[in-house]
Structure 1
Amino acid sequence: MKYISESARSISLIAGETWSEQQYLQSMLLGSSNTHADALARWAFGSVDAYVVAANAWLAKNGYAGTTVVDATGLAEGSQGTASELAALAARAFADPVLADIMSHDSVVVAGNRKVDNVAAYRADEGITGLSRSFTDSAGLCFLFRLTVGTGVDAVPLYGAYLREPDYETLDGDLSTLISTAAATLTKTVLVSQGDRVVTYTTPWGDEAHGVAVATKSQLIWLTAPVTKTVTVEPVTTGAKGTRVGQVTFKTPTGDVTVLLELDRRIADPGPVWRMTHPAPVIDAFIKSRTDQ
């Protein structure tokens, strides 16, 4: 009744009803129910105060220095965050398949046969999936969302947060500008081409071969998006051309892309004469083989 009297969003909880955790999440996320936000905090952490402590510790640990919560609903003036950090949190939320599925619905039916409409939905026909759409006197109009640019295999998500928008006319103008310009900030980026040398193997007897990519992989990526590369390879002493030796993985905003690596030429055994005339590397290799077992 507290939130209803304050004209804040709330879906009623009636004594004796049975609610599932998913229905609580649906009511909180789709219906923006402050009652369910408090109830979930008490269920998961024992109290709202305990939730606040845990939430701020998580934010600090994960690098969200500009975001602070003092309640479970976000209504209190002390709960605040930056647009960039809230956009990053929106990306985390949509990466969770349970939360992403909830936000994909226009409405659901929860306990007591109540229909809960998706109040975060806004301009969905233009590729926008809302995560939170709210208004308070101190924060103004706020909208957290995912914008999907492109279709099919070329679809790329963009996560955003508008804060302190004065009205819907301003929000609509900002969204329209984003939608019309977003595609121009995408570029077809070749992550790796077939035959690219990723790792080099050099033997004590002078042979050299490379671990090369077995395929070409490209992806639509935002111009400012970071792409990191991780190479995982096996130690190779001898091997035929085409032997699989590992993989290279690119971490992109839309997911990991992995390409296998293979030898681009044969690494031959040096033969008995070389082994007899170069005992030191042979002994080192034997000792290492015993150590690795």
Structure 2
Amino acid sequence: MSDTVPAAAPGTPEPSGPSRETGGDEPPAGRKRRRGGWIAGGIGAALVLAAGGYTAACALTPLPEPSVAAADQAAWDESVAAAADEAAAAAQAAVDAQAGPAAIGWQDSDDVWANDDTPRPIASISKLATVLIGLERAPLEAGADGPVHVWSEADAARQGAYIAQDGVAFPIPVGTEVTTRQMLTLALLPSANDFAAAFAAATIGTDAEFSAAVAEWAGRNGLESLSLAEPTGMDEANVASAADVVRLGKLALANPAIAELVSTPSAELPWGIGVVENTNPLLTQLPGVVGLKTGRSSVAGYNLVTAQEADADGRPVVKLTAVLGRDSGAERARDSSALLAAMDAAARQLPLVHPQELVGTVATVDGQRIELVARGSAATVLLPGEGAGREVTLDAVGAGPEGQPAGTIAVSSPTGDSEVPVVTAAAIVEPDLWWRLTHPAAVFGWS
């Protein structure tokens, strides 16, 4: 038996089987290529899935809210302070220009400006305090007659004493019935001492009781310099500073019954008295004057407290002046008129919110900076001693058109409170997908 392997016949396929060269372990080439394709396909699919997930995450993740910041109000605060300082300086300049004791104030303002704080005799201006204190105890409505007072022997005796001292008096018989309104008309218009004293005796009591009541009332109302020994002003011990005379005038104007009477140029009384004239010359000679009261004595000189309605840059106001110790009735009238005119320069027009005023900004995550502005305006008129305030409240805003609401500006002033809307000055645009895809740190809050 031969060990020789017969040669394959020509054209006969070579038998399959393990190859010596390959050792018999390598798979066919076709199978290798199919496995590599599966791996590449898997990786590609994973990448596609990952990309899709990233895109979805970027698209769906809520972005951080835009940040809102208020603008600095320092400039606004400075403008208000400057206006207040200018008004106060103008008020002080008005009284400083007077040679004699003087004071000014406004009915709606607590402050009073004066060039002299010395308590001085005020003469018949005392009657304003007398009537105010008496009406606290026996109130009288404007236009009403009030309770009836029967003229007594004591009233008649005081009346005779005033006549003997050359005081203002209108004698009437004992037993005459006098209404409260008639007594006050005579006390305040022609400055009758007898009727002022009768009203004080009926409502307050003796001169000692009256003086004590004035001290209590003055302390309660902040009139530290006011001191009255009796109700008419005939006693030179009845004193007050010019500033407290203005404050007294404010209190008188705040009482409707007194305000009505002191603004009356004349009145007709019975019992043979006839027509009596208001002693305030400015009441009929200067437009807008609504009272108040004169006072005169040999020691006090010529005194006058005056009130005038006026327009301060569109704001209705009531101005008050007091002059003490003038040498004549004409001088007190001139000085009072000059003070009233000088007070007009003290009012200050003050813008509180300018149209389109910048009050804040919005910063978005993609770097947009949108201004927040006032939609509207507000203004006021400041009198000396007054101020104004405002508070800016900004709300959260998001993507939206120009003009979307973004808060309010609340302003407070002596002329009233109001609100001005705050809006966006431009549209806020939502970042697009490409920005989201290329800014993952901002989208996912990594920075």
Range of TM-score over shorter length: 0.5 to 0.7
Give the aligned residue type for 2:300.
A
User: Which residue of the partner structure matches residue 288 of structure 1?
Assistant: none
**What is the percent sequence identity of the aligned residues?**
18
User: Which residue of the partner structure matches residue 238 of structure 1?
Assistant: none
Change in CA separation of 1:100 and 1:248 when aligned onto 2, cut-off 3 Å: farther
Q: Does 1:66 align with 2:225?
A: yes
Give the aligned residue type for 2:242.
A
User: Which residue of the partner structure matches residue 162 of structure 2?
Assistant: 3
State the alpha-carbon separation in 2 of the partners of residues 213 and 98 from structure 1: 45
Kindly provide the CA deviation profile for residues 181-200 of structure 1, in whole angstroms up to 9, marking residues without a partner as x.
333x2334237438899xxx
User: Which residue of the partner structure matches residue 142 of structure 1?
Assistant: 303
Change in CA separation of 1:2 and 1:189 when aligned onto 2, cut-off 3 Å: same
Change in CA separation of 1:176 and 1:102 when aligned onto 2, cut-off 3 Å: closer
Greater per-residue strand proportion: 1
Give the aligned residue type for 2:228.
V
Give the aligned residue type for 1:94.
L
What pairs up with 1:48-59 in 2 under 5 angstroms?
A: 48-59=207-218
Structure 1 residue 93: Cα displacement: 1.2
Change in CA separation of 1:160 and 1:176 when aligned onto 2, cut-off 3 Å: closer
User: Which residue of the partner structure matches residue 122 of structure 1?
Assistant: 282
* Higher RCO structure (Cα 8 Å, ≥6 apart): 2
Structure 1 residue 172: Cα displacement: 4.3
User: Which residue of the partner structure matches residue 258 of structure 1?
Assistant: 416
Cα RMSD over matched residues? 3.9
1:149–1:182 contact (8 Å) kept in structure 2: no
Structure 1 residue 50: Cα displacement: 1.7
2:265–2:284 contact (8 Å) kept in structure 1: no
TM superposition score normalised by structure 2: 0.46
User: Which residue of the partner structure matches residue 258 of structure 2?
Assistant: 99
1:37–1:73 contact (8 Å) kept in structure 2: yes
Kindly provide the CA deviation profile for residues 159-214 of structure 1, in whole angstroms up to 9, marking residues without a partner as x.
1111111123433442353355333x2334237438899xxxxxxxxxxxxxx998
Structure 1 residue 29: Cα displacement: 0.8
Give the aligned residue type for 1:132.
K
Give the aligned residue type for 2:380.
S
State the alpha-carbon separation in 2 of the partners of residues 118 and 10 from structure 1: 14
Structure 1 residue 67: Cα displacement: 1.5
Structure 1 residue 155: Cα displacement: 4.5
Q: Does 1:15 align with 2:169?
A: no
State the alpha-carbon separation in 2 of the partners of residues 213 and 88 from structure 1: 41
What pairs up with 1:200-219 in 2 under 5 angstroms?
A: 216-219=378-381
Give the aligned residue type for 2:259.
A
Structure 1 residue 51: Cα displacement: 2.1
Q: Does 1:39 align with 2:187?
A: no
Give the aligned residue type for 2:303.
C
| Structure 1 alignment gaps of length 5 or more | 198-211, 233-240, 252-256, 266-293
State the alpha-carbon separation in 1 of the partners of residues 342 and 300 from structure 2: 26
Change in CA separation of 1:244 and 1:173 when aligned onto 2, cut-off 3 Å: closer
Structure 1 residue 153: Cα displacement: 5.1
2:408–2:422 contact (8 Å) kept in structure 1: no
Structure 1 residue 130: Cα displacement: 3.6
State the alpha-carbon separation in 2 of the partners of residues 213 and 60 from structure 1: 48
State the alpha-carbon separation in 1 of the partners of residues 223 and 331 from structure 2: 27
Q: Which has the larger radius of gyration?
A: 2
Give the aligned residue type for 1:40.
F
State the alpha-carbon separation in 1 of the partners of residues 201 and 390 from structure 2: 44
Could you say what secondary structure the match of 1:11 adopts? coil
State the alpha-carbon separation in 1 of the partners of residues 219 and 237 from structure 2: 16
1:143–1:163 contact (8 Å) kept in structure 2: yes
1:38–1:73 contact (8 Å) kept in structure 2: yes
User: Which residue of the partner structure matches residue 286 of structure 1?
Assistant: none
